[in-house]
Amino acid sequence: MSVYIPDKDRYNGVMKYRRCGKSGIVLPEISLGLWHNFGENAGFATCREMIHFAFDNGITHFDLANNYGPSPGAAEEMFGRILKDSVLLPREEILITTKAGHDMWSGPYGTGSSRKMLMTSIDQSLKRMNQEYVDIFYSHRYDGVTPVEETMQALVDIVKSGKALYIGISKYPLEEARIAYDYLKAHDVPCLVYQGRYNMFSREPEDGIIEQASENGSGFVAFSPLAQGLLSDRYLHGIPADSRISKPDGFLKKEQLTDQVIDQIRSLTAVAQKRGQTLAEMALAWVLRDSKVTSVIIGASSIAQLKANLKGAEKLSFGKEELMIIDDIVKPVRPEIK
Ligand SMILES: NC(=O)c1ccc[n+]([C@@H]2O[C@H](COP(=O)([O-])OP(=O)(O)OC[C@H]3O[C@@H](n4cnc5c(N)ncnc54)[C@H](OP(=O)(O)O)[C@@H]3O)[C@@H](O)[C@H]2O)c1
């Protein structure tokens, strides 16, 4: 076992923290997600190094879900092993998030947002991570069938049982989110945070979701701020062999990298260069420019990417003209990015 000694100066670094809605909790402007790159194909030492590097640079919020892998559950197991192996990575200094709602185990109860699914899943997640509680437990999605009240009551009970400190909702449509906020408020477990896909290509949260979260005293965290890597220089010169598109389990597909998207990436890169930024930095800054966004949850396959992305929390102001130019570039076709 390696003894990990955290760098106590890290909070004096560049990381800034934003209050999550009207709660007492702050999140780092940049959080790290373990959707890809922390599964059973990833090396333990590399993953541990990335988590330690993130923590040393003020990233105190780690976002997981029951199904992150491959295979489902592997990322939680990896994170649990890292925490166990890092005896001085203080549990009280980090926020651990997990979720349930997507396909997890076989049979009719291993997917969706039923009480059965959520109650079983939180226990499995805690076991995999070797934790007594998570900081935030999310309903990963509205499944289109389960009454929102059933899902929310399960979340309330999970908090009341001490297995999670706060709860959140992810990808809920406006109307279902409204029912969720109201139900949770009425049951004294207000929704801490809404998690939605938000980047220069994917703009759905602008149609009321961010505003609604804010009106309900909830934070908003943006996932896939780099559109899974498209909003960077990753695919400017072809498809690298070690990239998400090349990996069989990656959620970004070759078909999404059309000529038009490559043109858009090139044009956005030119705007970023004028601002003295890389495209990845500008993409993160663009999301963080809105003070209602509490944090961006990035993914990374290397320490170099993590390091580069920390700069995304700089230069957050955009001129009106810059924003219009960006909108004009992405408007004609916004790629369908999952
Ligand atoms: N609630 C939900 O339903 C939901 C859904 C999706 C994601 N999430 C959360 O959001 C997190 C982030 O999602 P994401 O991984 O799609 O985020 P992202 O930041 O948009 O994409 C991350 C990928 O972009 C590439 N990349 C990162 N930094 C780069 C840089 N500086 N230069 C070039 N390429 C760079 C890497 O791809 P390569 O691997 O090719 O190097 C990396 O794996 C997930 O881990 C998860 O926690 C939540």
How many whole angstroms separate alpha carbon 243 and alpha carbon 245? Answer: 5
Give the count of domains, the chain: 1
The verdict on the CB of residue 34 being under 6 Å from ligand 1 is yes
Within a domain: 263: no
> Is residue 3 very low, low, confident or very high in pLDDT (cuts 50, 70, 90)?
low
Give mean pLDDT, residues 27-36.
Answer: 97
Question: Can you give the pLDDT at residue 89?
Answer: 84
CATH of the domain at 94: 3.20.20.100
Domain that holds residue 91: 10-229+278-313
Is the pLDDT at 108 greater than 70? The verdict is yes
9's tokens? 């100066």
CB within 8 Å of 271: residues ≥ 6 apart: 282, 322, 325, 326, 329
Within a domain: 20: yes
Give mean pLDDT, residues 234-248.
Answer: 94
In terms of Cα–Cα distance, which of 176, 284, 180, 178 is closest to 223? 284
Within a domain: 323: no
> Is residue 14 very low, low, confident or very high in pLDDT (cuts 50, 70, 90)?
confident
Mean of all residue pLDDT scores within the chain:
94
Q: Ligand 1 centre and the CA of 37: distance in Å?
A: 9
The verdict on the CB of residue 169 being under 6 Å from ligand 1 is no
Q: Ligand 1 centre and the CA of 135: distance in Å?
A: 21
**Residues above pLDDT 70, as percent of the chain:** 93
Is the pLDDT at 333 greater than 90? The verdict is no
Q: Ligand 1 centre and the CA of 287: distance in Å?
A: 14
Question: Can you give the pLDDT at residue 338?
Answer: 55
Question: Can you give the pLDDT at residue 247?
Answer: 92
Within a domain: 166: yes
Q: Are 89 and 4 in contact (CB under 8 A)?
A: yes
Within a domain: 185: yes
Within a domain: 108: yes
Indicate which residue's Cα is closest to atom 45 of ligand 1: 33
Q: Are 303 and 49 in contact (CB under 8 A)?
A: yes
- 3 versus 71: the higher-pLDDT residue is 71
The verdict on the CB of residue 243 being under 6 Å from ligand 1 is yes
Question: Can you give the pLDDT at residue 1?
Answer: 44
CB within 8 Å of 165: residues ≥ 6 apart: 133, 134, 135, 136, 159
Beta-strand relationship, 26-28 and 17-19: antiparallel
Give mean pLDDT, residues 126-154.
Answer: 98
Within a domain: 270: no
Question: Can you give the pLDDT at residue 86?
Answer: 85
> Is residue 13 very low, low, confident or very high in pLDDT (cuts 50, 70, 90)?
low
Indicate which residue's Cα is closest to atom 48 of ligand 1: 223
In terms of Cα–Cα distance, which of 192, 10, 1 is closest to 93? 10
Within a domain: 257: no
The verdict on the CB of residue 58 being under 6 Å from ligand 1 is no
